[in-house]
């Protein structure tokens, strides 16, 4: 007997659906939670893009090839390409901060 995903999962939330509504939250609460989550995602992506722009700017300023940067950061050349091309889903903020630190560009966080 073959096992399919449908046999293992009782419910699949459709793409674009409000996961909080699917979990049984009241409509008003579900909408508020979804909006909060969306704001957090937008903020996270903005921070990652800023960090990636700093790395890409450093690479350009120093006229380095991606392979040279990869060796300095101890990562693969495709990983450097992912930073330069701002593939935000492939990196954590922590990883990007660590890269900047290795490049001699310490990150300062301001909360306000």
pLDDT tens by residue, 19-50: 999 899 999 999 999 999 999 999 999 999 99
Pairs from 70-76 (Cβ < 8 Å, separation ≥ 24): 72/102, 72/103, 73/99, 73/102, 73/103, 74/102, 75/99
pTM of the model: 0.80
- In whole angstroms, what is the distance from residue 69 CA to residue 7 CA? 47
Kindly indicate the confidence band of residue 3, based on its pLDDT and cuts at 50, 70 and 90: low
- Give the number of residues written for the chain: 112
Backbone angles phi, psi at 65, to 5 degrees: -85, 155
């Amino acid at each position: 007997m073959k096992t399919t995903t449908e046999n293992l999962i009782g419910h699949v939330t459709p793409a674009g659906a409000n996961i909080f509504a699917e979990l049984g939250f009241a409509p008003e609460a579900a909408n508020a939670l979804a909006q909060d989550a969306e704001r957090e995602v937008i903020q996270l992506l903005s921070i990652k893009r800023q960090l990636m722009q700093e790395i890409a700017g450093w690479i350009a300023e120093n006229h380095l090839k991606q392979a040279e940067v990869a060796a300095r950061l101890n990562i693969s050349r495709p990983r450097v390409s992912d930073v330069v091309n701002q593939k935000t889903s492939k990196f954590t903020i922590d990883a990007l901060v660590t890269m900047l630190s290795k490049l001699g560009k310490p990150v300062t966080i301001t909360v306000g």
